[in-house]
Amino acid sequence: MIRKAVIPAAGFGTRFLPLTKAQPKEMLPIVDTPTIQMVVEEAVDSGITDILMVIGKSKRAIEEHFDRNFELEQELEQKGKEDLLRQIRHISGMANIHFVWQKELNGLGDAVSYARSHVGNEPFALLLGDTILESYSDEPVTRQLINVFNQHGGSVVALEEVPQEKVSRYGIMDGEDVGDGVYRVRDFVEKPDPAVAPSNLAFAGRYVFSPDIFDFLIQTGRGKNNEIQLTDAMRTMAQSRPMFGCRFSGKRHDVGNKFDFVKTNIHYALKHPEMKDPLISYLKELVKTL
Ligand code: UTP
């Protein structure tokens, strides 16, 4: 049973400056909900009960968001705002949430290695704190990965199909289709030329790892951007351990880049019962003025 998850959220967020100078991009709202809350909800709905967040400087808002706020609760209680009170209490009661501080920002692989002593000798899920995965099935994407882990017994990475001409923007999987959206991974290629790309299946920010990933991370030297890259550790791991890709049913929203952030907000606002119709009218009017 997989009960622990790790959420890295320490990165500088340089693609979102100046906002990220003093505020975490993981707290960027999707209409009214911080991105990282949606990530935690996905983990919890997938059966996770224990979450370790890797944070750093300028990330205090994340800690406070998952803590209780007694004064606010009292205020909502006195004013009879029960629905809001329930929503606020739900945030701090969802799971056991722990924090660890990444001392120097040496990349995603380095951030994950801070989870070693907390995770111990158990398999765990890894969810990027700035990426929302919307599921098109009854099961959240992390649950879909856990199912593949339980069935095939090896680490699993979420894969999203991307248009062939855009493969050069992503980490792409090289592997063999073993049926039902599952691939046996041979290797990964960073940003390949579309003409020679081994597939059009890209990393999507969700993983399930067996604990030996930590041994491979220790052996991984600095790679691209002089950072410790999780992909490099996974490439070495795939040479000696079974590793699988899961083409999940759903859509990835990378909130860490500005255009996708705006698109994601429009996407979710159009699903919002009170906002949908006024937003459509507003956008139609706006387009006429262009
Ligand atoms: P990104 O590569 O999107 O984060 O990492 P970044 O480095 O903050 O982004 P840019 O390129 O500067 O805009 C994906 C996730 O991994 C975390 C980030 O916080 C994000 O949630 N991360 C990244 C860490 O926790 N530590 C790191 O050293 C790097």
Q: Give the pLDDT band (50/70/90) at residue 96.
A: very high
278 CA → ligand 1 middle, Å: 35
Nearest to 147 by CA among 247, 8, 33: 247
pLDDT in tens, 189-224: 988 999 999 999 999 999 999 999 999 999 999 998
Could you identify the atom of ligand 1 that is nearest to the CA of residue 15?
13
For the stretch 4-31, pLDDT in tens is 999 999 999 999 999 999 999 999 999 9
Same domain, yes or no: 178 and 283: no
Contact residues for 287 (Cβ-Cβ < 8 A; gap 6+): none
Nearest ligand 1 atom, CA 12? 8
Q: Is the peptide bond before 34 cis (omega within 30 degrees of 0)?
A: no
pLDDT attached to residue 191:
86
The 8-class DSSP code of residue 23 comes to: S
Q: What pLDDT, in 10s, does the model give residues 132-171?
A: 999 999 999 999 999 999 999 999 999 999 999 999 989 8
Give the number of the atom of ligand 1 that is nearest the alpha carbon of residue 257: 13
Nearest to 155 by CA among 207, 195, 107, 120: 207
Give residues (CB < 6 A) around ligand 1: 8-15, 26, 54, 102, 105-108, 110-111, 128-130, 256
Cβ neighbour number for residue 29 with a 10 Å cutoff? 14
Nearest to 43 by CA among 255, 254, 252, 206: 206
- Clarify whether residues 273 and 134 are in a common domain: no
Residue nearest to atom 22 of ligand 1 (CA): 11
Residue whose Cα lies nearest atom 23 of ligand 1: it is 11
Confidence of residue 290 (pLDDT cuts 50, 70, 90): confident
Which of 108, 131, 132 for a ligand 1 pocket mutation test, highest count of atoms within 8 Å of Cβ? 108
Residues 6+ apart with CB under 8 A from 126: 5, 6, 7, 8, 112, 206, 207, 208, 209
Pure H helices in 79-220: 82-93, 108-113, 116-119, 141-152, 213-219
* Atom from ligand 1 closest to the CA of residue 54: 25
Identify the domain containing residue 272 by its residue range.
Answer: 258-290
Total domains in the chain come to: 2
Same domain, 114 and 252: yes
Q: Is residue 216 located within the same domain as residue 139? A: yes
DSSP class of 177: E
Co-location of 207 and 263 in the same domain: no
Domain shared by 191 and 266, yes or no: no
What predicted TM-score, i.e. pTM, was given to this entire model?
A: 0.96
- φ, ψ of residue 85 in degrees (nearest 5): -60, -45
Q: What are phi and psi of 68, to 5 degrees?
A: -80, 150
Q: Report how far ligand 1's centroid is from the alpha carbon of 117 (Å).
A: 21
pLDDT bin (cut points 50, 70, 90) of residue 60 is: very high
Residues 90 and 203 in one domain: yes
